[in-house]
């Protein structure tokens, strides 16, 4: 494996809370305006100019709202824009310049799918680990079967206090209470926000679930 950057990556809060993963800067601005404090831009485009604009707008929205905005995959552009953090997959650590990300003071979130990948990710001393997919999801092709709540609970027992944890994958408002009962302090959502008939009402309802955590 590539060597971990000396000193690891900057820390992020243990309680990242509701973590919407969003397709555009418009969505990032809208959701941060509703009081969300952690979000991720997952922009799917091959247009370099579009990508730069979307990342710059999202990062600026994060600054305005004093929020944590992570950029999915595009670590070079995230560094250039002064992003709070980047989120990478397991395969990305083989090609990304992890030292450059760390030296820029950018936080690193890593995706994991089971025990082996969690141990592998811990080697790099990331700012948080994403644990998934908890449930079946249609937003991307997953390399493993859904982990389920029983496994998520075991992951939390093993890693809580060592690194911030984010549950991800197929989580909606109906599933959220069970996810939070595992003790995880952050959960990523996609369609629960982007496909909600009333975005503001959906965000408020989800935020209230986190407010009830011990």
List binding-site positions. Answer: 40-44, 72-73, 92, 111, 137-140, 170
d(CA 18, CA 134): 15
| Pairing of β 186-189 and β 38-41 | unpaired
The C-alpha atoms of residue 211 and residue 134 are separated, in whole angstroms, by: 21
Q: What distances in angstroms separate CA 132 from CA 8, 107, 155, 165, 189, one per listed residue?
A: 23, 20, 10, 11, 12
| Structure tokens belonging to residue 176 | 């959220």
> What is each CA distance from 189 to 23, 54, 87, in whole angstroms?
12, 20, 15
Phi first, then psi, for residue 30 (nearest 5°) are -65, -45
Is the CB of residue 142 less than 8 Å from the CB of residue 169?
A: yes
Handedness of CA 85, 91, 96, 98 (dihedral sign): positive
Annotated binding site for Mg(2+): 73, 92
Q: Which residues are paired to 129 by β-bridges?
A: 110, 165
Q: What is the CA radius of gyration of the chain?
A: 16
């Amino acid at each position: 494996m590539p060597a971990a950057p000396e000193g690891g990556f900057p820390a992020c809060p243990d309680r990242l809370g509701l973590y919407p993963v969003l397709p555009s800067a418009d969505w990032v601005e809208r959701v941060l305006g509703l009081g969300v404090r952690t979000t991720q831009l997952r922009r799917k485009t091959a247009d370099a100019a579009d990508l730069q604009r979307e990342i710059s707008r999202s990062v600026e929205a994060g600054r305005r709202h004093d929020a944590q905005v992570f950029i999915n995959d595009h670590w070079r552009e995230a560094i250039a824009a002064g992003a709070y953090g980047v989120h990478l997959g397991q395969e990305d650590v083989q090609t990304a310049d992890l030292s450059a990300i760390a030296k820029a003071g950018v936080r690193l979130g890593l995706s994991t799918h089971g025990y082996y990948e969690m141990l592998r990710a811990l080697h790099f001393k990331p700012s948080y680990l994403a644990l998934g997919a908890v449930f079946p999801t249609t937003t991307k092709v997953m390399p493993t079967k859904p982990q389920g709540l029983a496994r998520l609970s075991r992951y939390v027992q093993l890693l809580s206090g060592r690194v911030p944890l984010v549950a991800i994958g197929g989580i909606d408002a109906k599933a959220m209470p069970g996810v939070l009962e595992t003790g995880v302090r952050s959960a990523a959502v996609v369609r629960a926000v982007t496909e909600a008939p009333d975005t503001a009402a959906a965000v408020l309802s989800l935020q209230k679930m986190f407010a009830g955590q011990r």
